[in-house]
Amino acid sequence: MRTFDEILDFAAQHHGSRLAVLEAASNGYLKDDLKTVSDSQYLSEMSQAVFSAGFNWTVIRNKWPGFMEAFKGFEPHAVAFFSDEDMDRLLSNTAIVRNGQKIKATIENARFMVGVIKEHGSFGAFLEKWPEDDQAGLLAYLHKNGSRLGGATAQYFLRFAGYDAWITSRDVCAALVREGVLDKPAATSKSAKAKVDQAFTILHEESGQPRSVISRILALSVG
């Protein structure tokens, strides 16, 4: 694998300069202290990622005020106690995307989140405690315990919620194949994600850059 500086130079060949690449790779979502994010905001971001999967992100974002009202501001303890009557109410609400499976997943994720909050004090405290060099383990935990949080959905949730997350997009995976980290342009297996974690840890320790920024630089290095 190339060093961080070599990959940055590679990206600069496509985008004009190192400074241009770093500016393009900046992450405005990144939070210094994940505990400052409310539990309702985490559930909102998680639900937005779930509803956006396989759908137009812009449409979902434009409808989000309707989602916020329909789901009681995404306060986890409130949503966790939604009844069959609430489910019927949501399925008839034209202000949201009326996908029954994703509505059910939101309620299930609220219940999952309530359990995490009970154990750790807040969902942000849980994320803060998770080792930064084990995003693969965090993704596996979310997939096992949450609902519809597999694949890229959990990665996008973590990124938009402020966690310093890498995303195994097509371009990132192509760059990691080029660097000899992955054998194929996908990271779906447990072993592949572990290799991604290891590569990002090396590049992070070399550069001091957030993993989310390194993720974007890798994508930009493809073209």
Q: Which residue has the tokens 């309702």?
A: 40
Nearest residue to 179 (alpha-carbon basis) of 198, 193, 199: 199
pLDDT score at 125: 98
Q: Are residues 149 and 185 in the same domain?
A: no
Q: Are residues 24 and 39 in the same domain?
A: no
Last residue of one domain, picked from the residues 161, 179, 206: 161
| CA-to-CA separations, 149 to 63, 138, 141, 154, in angstroms, rounded | 21, 11, 9, 5
Q: Are residues 139 and 182 in the same domain?
A: no
Q: Are residues 107 and 215 in the same domain?
A: no
Q: Are residues 128 and 213 in the same domain?
A: no
* Distance of alpha carbon 23 from alpha carbon 172, whole angstroms: 18
Q: Are residues 174 and 134 in the same domain?
A: no
* Distance of alpha carbon 11 from alpha carbon 220, whole angstroms: 5
Q: Are residues 134 and 48 in the same domain?
A: yes
Q: Are residues 19 and 101 in the same domain?
A: no
Q: Are residues 106 and 46 in the same domain?
A: yes
pLDDT score at 26: 96
Residues 114, 120, 121, 122, CA torsion sign: negative
pLDDT score at 120: 98
Q: Are residues 132 and 112 in the same domain?
A: yes
Q: Which residue has the tokens 């299930």?
A: 108
Last residue of one domain, picked from the residues 146, 161, 176: 161
* Distance of alpha carbon 133 from alpha carbon 127, whole angstroms: 12
pLDDT score at 126: 98
| Residue 8 identity (one-letter amino acid) | L
Nearest residue to 39 (alpha-carbon basis) of 66, 73, 62, 90: 73
* Distance of alpha carbon 60 from alpha carbon 143, whole angstroms: 22
| CA-to-CA separations, 31 to 42, 72, 195, in angstroms, rounded | 12, 25, 25
Nearest residue to 142 (alpha-carbon basis) of 160, 131, 155, 132: 155
User: In sequence order, which residues have a C-beta less than 8 Å from that of residue 121 and are 6 or more positions away?
Assistant: none
Q: Are residues 21 and 43 in the same domain?
A: no
* Distance of alpha carbon 168 from alpha carbon 174, whole angstroms: 9
Q: Are residues 109 and 25 in the same domain?
A: no
User: In sequence order, which residues have a C-beta less than 8 Å from that of residue 133 and are 6 or more positions away?
Assistant: 197, 200, 201
Q: pTM to 2 decimals? A: 0.95
Number of structural domains found in the chain: 2
Domain limits for position 16: 4-30+166-220
Q: Residue 201 in contact with residue 187, Cβ under 8 Å?
A: no
pLDDT score at 19: 97
**CATH at residue 79:** 1.10.340.30
Q: Which mean pLDDT values do the consecutive 10-residue runs of the chain (223 residues) have?
A: 97 96 96 97 98 94 97 98 97 97 98 98 98 97 98 96 97 98 96 98 98 98 92
Last residue of one domain, picked from the residues 161, 180, 212: 161
Map 130-152 to HEC letters: CCCCCHHHHHHHHHHHCCCCCHH
